[in-house]
């Protein structure tokens, strides 16, 4: 199994296992036999309520909505749509729980978090299948990345709970109070862990709203909290749409807002909290540049490029969605990349051999189609490997745009899909200038064998995370977050604690 911080979906290491002559599409003598993971390990109820003050209850307004499996459009369950009244009830429950939770010795809070980490590990297969069903991402990603990383986040932060005075954030760091947390659909359980683990470790209580299209793993997490014996009201889960999230972050009794999602919504939140005492962290969009110099090991770079943009169907805020390749090796690299893309296996996310799963929603698929349509209309050259898409569900073939200029929409806007825009450069200065030429600043990659060039280029990239000769690596100990319009604040590591503390 890959080390837990390795994005495995299309990661390095898996590549050498399937040679170029083993394309995934049917008809090849080397086609893989189906290897589906069993669904029987997970039991999804026909409906779920809101998890408030330790109990599942219906929404006050009685409204519900359906959540579907993006790979098949099958309805998985019906969940409650929380309204303002429910938000208020949840915030009050969290406020009430805060008094005792924050007064617990750190060592006791730590033990709850260790319990949660262990229960996630114990239930990892169930959670992986659930996440794959509700999100559409390949089982090998949920199994080897999302769920182990979620457990690791709780394990890491558990250890901080009784050591906060030693974190270098001042002698007496104090919790803020009630944290309102709104998370996206691309890594539902993992984003929940990124939010809840540091909040609880630092003594806050939370009201978390999972994304509209991926509510189930958060609801299962509520059950994990019950098994762990977590006091009532410490974690509250409200399902709903954007209006629920807006009501939550604007609730006057919330002390902290943590949001991961689009830059547009992030800006709206920043405006909304202006003039309040609410502390805010925002983890927003990106248009990461993956820079390949002429001395880079081409085969490794190709694997890194594939990991960078096709991991999780490219629905990753820090995706390497812009490939900047030095002109002298551009043809060679693009040929190798295209060869590699023909070997990616797109299809049933529950199949253990699947590299590319489904797009999360019809809405997201429409957005990817629209932006790629604009890419073609603006004159970039579009290419996809021969790729049969399933007849039902939301699917998009891996796509390359070559001949992309900096002004093109596909070089500027976040597509959040399996779409790579290829640009070229001649000098390191030009590469850096192009890499920095977006309003975003979340991630970047550098591929070169020359150590001093790695350091010089990394130094000048205005991005919160830089991967040198690798891409899309994550770890609970490693702070993550953006420059510029990719948001502010960091999540993970010692740095991430500050977002939940009055120091």
Partner 1 sequence: MSDSDGKGRLTVLKTYKLYVGGKFPRSESGRVYEVTDAKSRWLANAPRSSRKDARDAVVAARKAFGGWSGATAYNRGQVLYRIAEMLEGRADQFVREVADAEGLSRAKAAAVVEASIDRLVWYAGWTDKIAQVVGGANPVAGPYFNLSSPEPTGVVAVLAPQQSSLLGLVSVVAPVVATGNTAVVVASETRPLPALSLSEVLATSDVPGGVVNVLSGRTAEIAAPLAAHQDVNGIDLTGAGGDAALAKDLEVAAADNLKRVLRPSGQGGPAADDWTQDPGTRRMTAFLETKTVWHPTGALGVSGGSY
What SS3 class is residue 434?
helix
Nearer to partner 1 by C-beta: 127 or 468? 468
What's the min distance (Å) between Cβ of 181 and partner 1? 19
**Contact status: 503 vs partner 1 (CB under 8 A):** yes
In angstroms, how far is CA 502 from the centroid of its own chain? Answer: 27
**Contact status: 493 vs partner 1 (CB under 8 A):** yes
Report the candidate in 247, 409, 230 with the shortest Cα–Cα distance to residue 321.
409
What's the min distance (Å) between Cβ of 95 and partner 1? 19
H/E stretch holding 326 = strand 322-326
**Contact status: 263 vs partner 1 (CB under 8 A):** yes
Which residue stretch of 51-59, 239-247, 379-387, 476-484 sits at the interface with partner 1 (rule: CB under 8 A)?
A: 476-484
Find the DSSP H helices in 228-379. 242-249, 263-272, 298-310, 327-341, 362-377
Catalytic residue among 283, 303, 485, 491: 283
Residue 465: φ, ψ to 5°: -135, 130
What's the min distance (Å) between Cβ of 462 and partner 1? 8
The footprint of partner 1 on residues 415-474 (CB under 8 A) is: 439, 454, 458, 461, 463-470, 473
**Contact status: 276 vs partner 1 (CB under 8 A):** yes
Give the contacts of 463 (CB within 8 A, at least 6 positions apart): 288, 289, 435, 441, 442, 443, 444, 482, 483, 486
Nearer to partner 1 by C-beta: 187 or 396? 187
Nearer to partner 1 by C-beta: 138 or 476? 476
Catalytic residue among 317, 318, 387, 414: 317
**Contact status: 50 vs partner 1 (CB under 8 A):** no
Nearer to partner 1 by C-beta: 5 or 124? 5
Pairing of strands 399-402, 381-383: antiparallel
Is 283 catalytic? The answer is yes
Is 212 catalytic? The answer is no
Nearer to partner 1 by C-beta: 13 or 379? 13
What's the min distance (Å) between Cβ of 266 and partner 1? 7
Which residue stretch of 1-9, 119-127, 238-246, 409-417 sits at the interface with partner 1 (rule: CB under 8 A)?
A: 1-9
How many whole angstroms separate alpha carbon 328 and alpha carbon 330? Answer: 6
Find the DSSP H helices in 75-184. 84-103, 106-122, 124-135, 139-141, 147-160
Annotate 367-407 with DSSP letters as a single string.
HHHHHHHHHHHTTPEEE----PPPSSS-----EEEES--TT
**Contact status: 157 vs partner 1 (CB under 8 A):** no
Nearer to partner 1 by C-beta: 9 or 487? 487
Among 274, 377, 391, 452, binds partner 1 (CB under 8 A): 274
**Contact status: 394 vs partner 1 (CB under 8 A):** no
Contact map string, positions 213 to 242, toward partner 1, x by CB under 8 A? ------------------------------
Among 112, 301, 481, 497, binds partner 1 (CB under 8 A): 481
What's the min distance (Å) between Cβ of 288 and partner 1? 13
**Contact status: 477 vs partner 1 (CB under 8 A):** yes
- Give the sign of the dihedral formed by CA 462, CA 433, CA 313, CA 134: positive
Report the candidate in 268, 433, 414 with the shortest Cα–Cα distance to residue 423.
433
What's the min distance (Å) between Cβ of 151 and partner 1? 12
Please tell me the total number of residues recorded for the chain in this structure.
Answer: 503
Q: Which residues pair with 439 in a beta bridge?
A: none
Among 139, 257, 284, 324, binds partner 1 (CB under 8 A): 284
Which residue stretch of 33-41, 337-345, 425-433, 490-498 sits at the interface with partner 1 (rule: CB under 8 A)?
A: 490-498
The footprint of partner 1 on residues 96-155 (CB under 8 A) is: 152
Residue 433: φ, ψ to 5°: -60, -45
What SS3 class is residue 205?
strand
**Contact status: 488 vs partner 1 (CB under 8 A):** yes
Counting Cα atoms < 13 Å in the Cβ hemisphere of 142 gives: 31
How many whole angstroms separate alpha carbon 196 and alpha carbon 176? Answer: 14
Q: Which residues pair with 283 in a beta bridge?
A: 260, 487
- What tokens does 344 get? 């990616």
What's the min distance (Å) between Cβ of 179 and partner 1? 15
Report the candidate in 444, 430, 434, 487 with the shortest Cα–Cα distance to residue 321.
444
Residue for token pair 């006050």: 60
Contacts with partner 1 by CB under 8 A lie at: 3-6, 152, 168, 170, 263, 266-267, 270-271, 274-279, 282, 284, 439, 454, 458, 461, 463-470, 473, 475, 477-481, 483-485, 487-488, 490, 493-495, 498, 503
Active-site residue set: 283, 317
């Amino acid at each position: 199994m890959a080390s837990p911080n390795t994005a495995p979906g299309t990661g390095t290491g898996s590549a050498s296992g399937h040679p170029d002559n083993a394309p995934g599409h049917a008809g090849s003598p080397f086609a893989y036999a189906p290897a589906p993971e069993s669904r029987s390990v997970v039991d999804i109820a026909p409906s779920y309520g809101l998890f408030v003050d330790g109990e599942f209850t219906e929404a006050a307004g009685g409204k519900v909505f359906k959540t579907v499996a993006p790979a098949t459009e099958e309805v998985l369950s019906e969940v409650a749509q929380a309204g303002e009244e429910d938000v208020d009830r949840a915030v009050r429950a969290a406020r009430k729980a805060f008094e005792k939770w924050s007064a617990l010795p750190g060592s006791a809070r730590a033990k709850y978090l260790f319990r949660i980490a262990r229960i996630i590990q114990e239930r990892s297969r169930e959670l992986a299948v659930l996440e794959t069903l509700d999100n559409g991402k390949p089982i090998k990603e949920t199994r080897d990345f999302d769920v182990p990383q979620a457990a690791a986040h709780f394990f890491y932060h558990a250890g901080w709970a009784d050591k906060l005075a030693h974190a270098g954030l001042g002698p007496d760091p104090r919790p803020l109070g009630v944290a309102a947390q709104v998370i996206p659909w691309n890594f539902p359980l993992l984003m929940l862990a990124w939010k809840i683990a540091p909040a609880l470790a630092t003594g806050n209580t939370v009201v978390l709203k999972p994304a509209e299209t991926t509510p189930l793993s958060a609801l299962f997490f509520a059950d994990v909290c019950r098994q762990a014996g977590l006091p009532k009201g410490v974690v509250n889960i409200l399902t709903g749409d954007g209006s629920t999230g807006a009501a939550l972050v604007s609730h006057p009794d919330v002390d902290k807002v943590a949001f991961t999602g689009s830059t547009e919504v992030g800006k709206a939140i920043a405006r909304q909290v202006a003039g309040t005492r609410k502390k805010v962290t925002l983890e927003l969009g990106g248009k990461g540049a993956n820079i390949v110099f002429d001395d880079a090991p081409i085969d490794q770079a190709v694997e890194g490029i594939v990991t960078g943009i096709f991991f999780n169907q490219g629905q990753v805020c820090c995706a390497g969605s812009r490939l900047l390749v030095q002109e002298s090796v551009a043809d060679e690299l693009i040929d190798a990349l295209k060869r590699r893309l023909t070997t990616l296996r797109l299809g049933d996310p529950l199949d253990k051999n699947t590299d590319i799963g489904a797009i999360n929603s019809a809405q997201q698929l429409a957005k990817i189609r629209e932006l790629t349509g604009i890419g073609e209309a603006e004159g970039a050259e579009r290419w996809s490997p021969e790729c049969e898409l399933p007849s039902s569900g939301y699917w998009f073939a891996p796509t390359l745009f070559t001949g992309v200029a900096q002004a093109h929409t596909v070089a500027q806007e976040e597509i959040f899909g399996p779409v790579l825009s290829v640009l070229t450069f001649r000098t390191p200065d030009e590469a850096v200038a192009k890499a920095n030429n977006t309003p975003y600043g979340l991630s970047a990659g550098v591929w070169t064998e020359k150590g001093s060039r790695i350091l010089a280029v990394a130094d000048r990239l205005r991005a919160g995370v830089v991967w040198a000769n690798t891409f899309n690596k994550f770890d609970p100990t490693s702070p993550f977050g953006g420059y510029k319009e990719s948001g502010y604040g960091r999540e993970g590591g010692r740095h991430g604690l500050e977002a939940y503390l009055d120091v």
